[in-house]
Amino acid sequence: MAAHSSVRSLQDEATCSICLEYFTDPVSIHCGHNFCRACISQCWGESESNFSCPQCRETARQKLFRPNRELGKVVEITRQLSFQVTVTAGGEQGCETHREALKLFCDTDHQLICVICRESQAHRAHRVFPVQEAAQQYKKQFQTQLQTLKEEREKLLGLKVSAEGRSREYLEKTDAQRQKIMSEFEQLHQFLEEQERLLLARLAELEKGMTKMRDENVTKLCEEISRLSKLIREMEEKCRQPASEFLQDFRNTLSRCEKGQFQQPVEISPELEKRLSDFCPKIYVLKETLKKLKDTLPSELEREWANVTLDPDTAHPELVLFEDRKGVRRGHTRQHLPYNPERFDAELCVLGCVGFTSGRHCWEVEVGDEGGWAVGVARESVRRKGEFIFQPEKGIWAVGLWRTRYLVLTSPATPLSLSWLPRRIRVFLDYTQGQVAFFDADSEAPIFTFPPASFMGERVRPWLWVEMGSQLRLCP
């Protein structure tokens, strides 16, 4: 403690009374007081007489100061002693400039300073706090930010878990789809292999019958050839006999020649020939079926499932859309909605948000067997204001239910003879081919296909119509 007090006194002696910092290039003036050369020069400025001492106010007529090198050495020694005492006593960091403990924090420059730095021109006008107080203030900010970061981390961890869960679910669905694809193709392979075995077995059976008949015919022909060869040799020998000998039994030889002509064997039986001819249509059917499969399967697999949601800006004011915009029903009152050009104002219709100008697309709609409803597609330019007839000529291709009757919306409407009640209808659109078709989504049974249309590059959108007592819902 005594050492610290002595060093403090030494620091006071080594400090310039003008800048309050350790002397820099100290000089002595006429009265004996010491100042930094730069400080006293600035203090006296351009004066030419009456040079006053800033400390004792004693004046002199001439500007006179001389270097005080001994004081400069004392200042340097004081710096070192002050720094050593400070570090040894408190274990604190020391100011490299003033060799003082860094007990203050300049909030303006965001740096640690000593008590001498605080009085210097560099920090005199700045906000300065004790180190502990400044640390406490910033620790509060740190705690606030730390809490925010922790909350953000927890949020991200939750998102990570959720994303991993969804990813795992999607991967499981992907694996399930893979298994389904493999199973379907395995069944297809088995079916084709079975059909191949069946056809080849039938062909082998036919081939076996034909081979047997061929062998039998060859055997018969060989036997007849052998008989004829033997008879020919006998007759040739008979012809070489003398006349008297020849005439003795020539009738016996002739009778053997006249026994009857050889019956030429049938090359193939009518039954085998018919069975063989029956294979040609089978092969043709096989070829055409496989060709149709090869032509159809890739395009069917390229068909895109559309994620359809309903456009509230097009919905008739009496229609109530579900919260997820995946369904619609007719309400009991007319809603007060903006009278925008896109909205149907007379017909109970609504369009899907998505539109198509190319490609093959399909989506499914859950329907009921009561009330009235219709599902299909419509041109972007379909009439929105006033009543009109639903038909292709007016830009609508659809099927629906009206008073227990299933109809194709043409003019006049075409009745549909369905032996079942569809629960989900699949709408299929091939924009390029101009094809609009409808299927039962559960059984894949076709319901109706419109004749090819020309959309002329115009956007085509999903279209729904619903009456009281019915509701329609787009399947996810």
pLDDT tens for residues 306-331? 899 999 999 999 999 999 999 999 99
For residues 297 and 439, the answer to whether their CB atoms sit within 8 Å is no
Q: Count the alpha carbons within 13 Å of 303 in the hemisphere toward its beta carbon.
A: 17
Q: Does pLDDT of 276 surpass 60?
A: yes
Q: Which of 53-57, 84-88, 308-312, 450-454 has the lowest mean pLDDT?
A: 84-88
- Report helix, strand or coil for 278: helix
Mean local confidence (pLDDT), 333-346: 92
Q: Does pLDDT of 361 surpass 80?
A: yes
Q: Which of 185-199, 237-251, 257-271, 306-320 has the lowest mean pLDDT?
A: 257-271
CA-CA-CA-CA torsion sign (110, 116, 121, 124) = positive
Buried b / exposed e across 193-231, counting CB within 10 Å, b at 16+?
eeeeeeeeeeeeebeebbeebeeeeeeeeeeeeeeeeee
- Report helix, strand or coil for 312: coil
Residues 6+ apart with CB under 8 A from 312: 321, 325
Token pair belonging to 24: 């820099």
pTM above 0.95, yes or no: no
pLDDT value of residue 259: 61
pLDDT value of residue 36: 92
Residue 23 amino acid letter: F
Mean local confidence (pLDDT), 378-384: 96
Q: Count the alpha carbons within 13 Å of 120 in the hemisphere toward its beta carbon.
A: 14
Asked if residue 452 has a cis previous peptide bond (ω within 30° of 0), the answer is no
Q: Which of 6-10, 50-54, 129-133, 315-319 has the lowest mean pLDDT?
A: 6-10
Residues 6+ apart with CB under 8 A from 452: 433, 434, 435
Alpha-carbon span 94 to 90, nearest angstrom = 10
Starting at the earlier edge strand, list the strands of the sheet with 111-113. 111-113, 104-106, 128-130
For residues 367 and 472, the answer to whether their CB atoms sit within 8 Å is yes
Alpha-carbon span 112 to 96, nearest angstrom = 11
pLDDT value of residue 246: 79
Give residue for tokens 């399947």.
475
pLDDT value of residue 302: 64
Alpha-carbon span 163 to 153, nearest angstrom = 15
For residues 357 and 460, the answer to whether their CB atoms sit within 8 Å is yes
Q: How many CB atoms neighbour CB 341 within 10 A?
A: 8
Residues 6+ apart with CB under 8 A from 453: 392, 397, 434, 435, 436
Token pair belonging to 215: 């062998």
Residues 6+ apart with CB under 8 A from 139: none
Mean local confidence (pLDDT), 379-405: 94
| Alpha carbon distances (Å) from 331 to 101, 119, 402 | 81, 80, 18
Alpha-carbon span 409 to 473, nearest angstrom = 20
Q: Does pLDDT of 264 surpass 70?
A: no
Percent of the chain with pLDDT over 90: 34
Residue 239 amino acid letter: C
Residue 44 amino acid letter: W
